[in-house]
């Protein structure tokens, strides 16, 4: 059985084997992609051979490792990190913050927000604040700095979500796919917490709305109903792990009723 969650403090060979098996790539195919013999790759995987820095980077590129894990891969082989991790509020990220702020503002009055890989809310527009304050107490904005925790919480958005069991099922499936792809520790903890508190494990009819080509999220409170679908954007060609992990999520109304609600 293939490993699913990477263990901490693994050796170079262990990390190589984990990611190779996770992506279901044979030693021969990976060796061809990297341009070395399968025997040499096998020696690296078993610890009998020490890879050069360039080889570690080539293997990481072939396996499409997130930048954070490429740094960890280099560190396990005894090399310095290749990619930085600038804080979003740092001076080097000012141009990125300005671009994100412009995207958020241009999306008004519709909700939009920026999160990291673990879905911690880093930036949000006023449309998002007004949307949350209508459906939950303003205290939720202070209590929850994670959009998934706010959505899944009983004192958050969850009581207002229509067809919650189906929505919960689909969102947890999405999170699990991201856990596998990123192996991000914050995301793993989030998925485990939400999974333990899931409302039901029974089979579900997942056809939330057969009239739409995308999944919609519908909330209802005091006879007011609002339905949205979302898009997620990332920054292209990142050279920094923080930049690579940023996600811009924008909610769009699916009907005229929701458009009018947001404009009010």
Give pLDDT tens digits along the chain (264 positions).
445 788 766 899 999 999 999 999 999 999 999 999 999 999 999 999 999 999 999 999 999 999 999 999 999 999 999 999 999 999 999 999 999 999 999 999 999 999 999 999 999 999 999 999 999 987 888 899 999 999 999 999 999 999 999 999 999 999 999 999 999 999 999 999 999 988 766 555 555 565 667 778 999 999 999 999 999 999 999 999 999 999 999 999 999 999 999 988
Q: Which helix (H) or strand (E) holds 74?
A: helix 67-76
Domain total in the chain: 2
Query: Could you tell me if residue 1 is inside a domain?
Result: no
pTM, to two decimals: 0.88
| Distant-in-sequence contacts of 185-191, Cβ < 8 A, 24+ apart | 186/116, 186/117, 186/118, 186/120, 187/117, 187/118, 187/119, 188/5, 189/118, 190/118, 190/119, 190/146, 190/148, 190/149
177 Cβ contact list (under 8 Å, min separation 6): none
Query: Do residues 161 and 242 both lie within one domain?
Result: yes
Q: Which helix (H) or strand (E) holds 121?
A: strand 121-124
The reported pLDDT for the residue numbered 206 is: 53
3-state class (DSSP) for residue 84: strand
- Give me 264's structure tokens: 């009010």
CA distance 208 to 216: 8
Taking CA atoms, 9 is separated from 14, 64, 69, 83, in Å, by 9, 20, 12, 19
Domain of residue 214 covers: 91-263
Query: Do residues 228 and 99 both lie within one domain?
Result: yes
Query: Do residues 150 and 182 both lie within one domain?
Result: yes
Query: Mind giving me the DSSP string for 175-194?
Result: HHHHHHHH--HHHHHHHHHH
Cite the beta strand spans of 125-223 per DSSP E. Answer: 217-221
Point out the domain boundary residue: 35, 51, 76: 76
**Which of left, alpha, beta for 250 (phi over 0: left; psi -120 to 50: alpha)?**
beta
Query: Do residues 134 and 213 both lie within one domain?
Result: yes
Buried b / exposed e over 31-49, threshold 16 CB at 10 Å, is beebebeeebbebbbeeeb
- Return the C-alpha torsion angle 107, 113, 117, 122, nearest 10: 130
The reported pLDDT for the residue numbered 138 is: 79
Residue labelled with tokens 């999974």: 195
Query: Do residues 235 and 176 both lie within one domain?
Result: yes
Query: Could you tell me if residue 86 is inside a domain?
Result: no
């Amino acid at each position: 059985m293939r490993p699913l969650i990477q263990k901490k403090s693994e050796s170079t060979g262990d990390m190589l084997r984990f990611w190779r098996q996770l992506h279901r790539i044979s030693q021969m195919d990976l060796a061809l992609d990297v341009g070395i013999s399968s025997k040499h790759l096998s020696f690296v995987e078993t610890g009998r051979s020490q890879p050069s820095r360039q080889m570690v980077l080539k293997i990481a590129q072939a396996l499409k490792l997130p930048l954070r894990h490429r740094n960890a891969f280099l560190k396990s082989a005894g090399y310095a990190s290749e990619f930085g991790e600038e804080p979003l509020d740092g001076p080097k990220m000012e141009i990125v913050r300005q671009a994100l702020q412009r995207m958020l503002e241009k999306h008004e009055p519709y909700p939009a927000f920026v999160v990291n890989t673990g879905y911690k809310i880093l930036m949000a527009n006023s449309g998002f604040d007004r949307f949350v304050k209508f459906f939950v107490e303003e205290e939720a904005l202070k209590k929850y700095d994670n959009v998934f925790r706010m959505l899944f919480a009983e004192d958050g958005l969850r009581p207002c979500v229509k067809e919650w069991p189906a929505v919960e099922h689909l969102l947890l499936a999405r999170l699990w796919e991201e856990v596998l792809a990123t192996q991000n520790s914050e995301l793993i903890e989030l998925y485990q917490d939400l999974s333990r508190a899931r409302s039901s494990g029974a089979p579900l009819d997942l056809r939330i709305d057969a009239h739409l080509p995308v999944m919609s999220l519908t909330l209802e409170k005091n006879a007011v109903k609002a339905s949205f679908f979302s898009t997620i954007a990332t920054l292209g060609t990142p050279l920094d792990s923080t930049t690579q992990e940023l996600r811009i999520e924008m909610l769009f109304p699916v009907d005229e009723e929701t458009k009018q609600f947001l404009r009010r």
